[in-house]
Structures are given as C-alpha cells and as structure tokens.
A and B are shown apart, each in its own frame.
Chain A
C-alpha cells in the first residue's frame, strides 16, 4: 500500500471511529439504540475477536493447515487454555510466545 493511500485509510478509520464515539453523546435525548441493535452488539466482541484469530492460526502462507507441523495453531491452543484459566492477556501473551519458541526449537514441522 503506498503512502497517500495508507494515510487516507488511516484517516477514514479514524473518522469512522470518532463518529461511533460521538454518536449518542451528540444526539442526546433525540435517539436511543434500537433494541435489536443492542442485542446484536452484545455478540460483537466474541464474534469479531474470534474472526480475527482463526485465519491467523489455521492458515500457513495462505494454505489451510491442521497438523502437528502447524506450530502457531498448537501455540494458539495453549494460549487459549491459559486465557481460559487466567483471564489475563499478559500471561496469555507470555505463555503463547514461549510455547511457539519451544515448538520452533524442537522443530516438529521438520
């Protein structure tokens, strides 16, 4: 991506984010979140975060791969376990990176 396009993208992302933040503060008393949207919004974190993670674990260089050779998938599973037990992002980060480095050193993938 060239530089002007990149800045345009970032400015667009910033403008959209600011509009979301300002939305109801600016509209006070004149608008409420429709009940259906409010229901849907509760599922945004679980859905979006999972949608970001899954391709990064299951795809290696653009190809779907589920095997012991996929070190990132294995390290990701360990990290998910740590996240579930500790609910702590720092522990998840540390444990996941350590697992990946160990797996890479062992070289299961050959």
Chain B
C-alpha cells in the first residue's frame, strides 16, 4: 500500500493539450461536471495518476455525490414501506445491511407481509439481482487479482450506482491499478452510508405516517419510474408486455410464485421477440 505514495507523478498520454481539445470537442472541457455525471476533468486525471490510497478514496467518495442524491428516495421508500409492512426498525435496517439492494428489498416486502416462504422470497431476490452477475463479470479484470478479503469487501459494495460510476474510468485506464480498490471503496462506502442513513430516515418517517397517506403506493411508483426507462426498444417492450400480462394471470398463484413466473415469462418473451426480429431481417 505504501508503494503508491512515493510514486513520481506519471505523465499521461495522450499529451494534455490534445486531451483538452478532445474534451472541448465533447463539450465538457471546462467548469464543473454536470450533476449526475462523474467528473472526468483532465486535471483530476493527472492528480489521480499519483494518488495515495487516502486521496483515491476521497476522490471516489467525492465523485459519487451527485448520484447519492438519486439514491436517497430508494432507501427512504424502503424504510417507510418496511414499517408499513410490519417490519421493526431493526429488521428494516438489518435487511438494508444484509441485502444492500434497494429494488430487491422493496420487491420482497409484499412477499414478506403476505407470509411467503423463505424459498420464494430468496428466489425472487435472486431473479431481481441476477443483473449483478453482469457487473461482477465486467469488474472481474479490475478486482480479480486482489486478495480474497478485498474481493469480498468490494463485491459486497457492488451496486448499480457503484458499477456505473467506476467501470468507464477503470476500463479506460483513468485510474491506476493500485488506486482502483481505494477509489472504488470510496464510491462504495459513500453509497453504503447514504443508503443506511436513508433507510433509517424512512423508518422514522414510516412510523410517523398515517395510513390515510397511502404511502405504500410509493413502492409501485418507484418501480414504474425504473421500469419505463428500462423499456428501450421493441424487444425490451415485448419483455415488459409479456411479463405484465403474465403477472395479471399469475397474481393468484400459490406460494406467491406469481412474481417469479411472470418475470421468467417476460424474459422469455424478450428472447422470442429478439429471435423473431433477427429472422425477419435476414
């Protein structure tokens, strides 16, 4: 770890002049980064090329701030909905620490209050979190050579937001190899602390709220806000449509299996639509 501190300043390539021209061409050369976007200022680059662990950690925690704001509603919604579903404050926070995946936690709540079996809830969480394997595969070249403890810690902190905020700069070599773990740790811990604080806030709000406010409606609304942008073209549209139709018919399935069955029908629908589209193009 100490080796990184004494490394001399590394010259970046291509040369700085070329980089800034390129950056100007992209329309984000100077000034503050747009909110919701991670800073890729050329000045940062040179500074971080010789970063110490602490500096890399702080850079990560700083760059993630705009994304943290978008994360807060999930934690608050989960905390509040968990209270409405009959979980205690400790159980709600325990779930945020154990699972640490907002969408899956929210989707599990109706199942938990309906008294679904352990297997059904775990299976549902598995299906919703399947996408994490994609992130894991994409991060593997950057973390694969770390000691097991680091792999475990960084994997636990792997979320949509942490992945989105780090993968581009890692793949493009903007963060030096020894700094990656610290930069990512800064990003991941900032997300973790924010999510737990937001859950706690939601738990208190949920305890204050009255039933008349219909705050349980926050759950479908959050998923609508996520589902609509996930429908990007005809094939993802077909996936959503078949999942939706299946969900209507499967809602009464025993053991609360409706969600899993509908999700699998949707994935199948997307695959079929894709195959049909490819065939018709030939």
Contact = CB atoms under 8 A, between A and B. Distances in A.
B122 A50 contact: no
Contacts of A93: 73, 77, 218, 221-222, 225
Given A6-B112, A21-B155, A46-B227, A51 B122 contact: no
B246 interface: yes
A55 to B, nearest CB: 4
Contacts of B122: 9, 12-13, 16
Given A17-B101, A33-B133, A45-B230, A51 B222 contact: no
A25 B131 contact: no
B203 interface: no
Interface string A42-84: 1111111111111111110000100000001001100110011
Given A46-B266, A92-B222, 13 more contacts: A14-B98, A16-B122, A16-B129, A21-B136, A22-B152, A25-B155, A29-B144, A44-B263, A50-B241, A51-B258, A53-B247, A55-B251, A90-B225
A57 B244 CA distance: 11
A30 B133 CA distance: 15
Contact of A10 (B94, B228, B236): B94
Nearest to B98: A14
Interface in B93-137: 94-95, 98-101, 103-104, 106-108, 110, 112-113, 115, 118, 121-122, 125-137
Interface magnitude class on chain A? 35 or more
Nearest to B103: A49
A29 B247 CA distance: 39
Interface of B: 70, 73, 77, 87, 91, 94-95, 98-101, 103-104, 106-108, 110, 112-113, 115, 118, 121-122, 125-137, 139-141, 143-145, 151-152, 154-156, 158, 213-214, 217-231, 235-237, 239-244, 246-248, 251, 258-259, 262-267, 269-271, 274
Given A41-B131, A76-B220, A16 B228 contact: no
Interface centre among B112, B240, B258, by most chain A C-beta atoms within 10 angstroms, is: B240
A22 B239 CA distance: 27
Contacts of B271: 39-40, 43
Contacts of B228: 80, 83-84, 87, 92
Contact of A50 (B77, B130, B243): B243
B185 to A, nearest CB: 14
Given A8-B118, A56-B219, A44 B267 contact: yes
B128 A48 contact: yes
A32 B140 CA distance: 10
A6 B87 contact: yes
A14 to B, nearest CB: 3
13 contacts: A7-B91, A23-B133, A43-B267, A46-B270, A47-B269, A53-B224, A54-B243, A55-B247, A83-B225, A83-B227, A87-B229, A90-B225, A93-B77
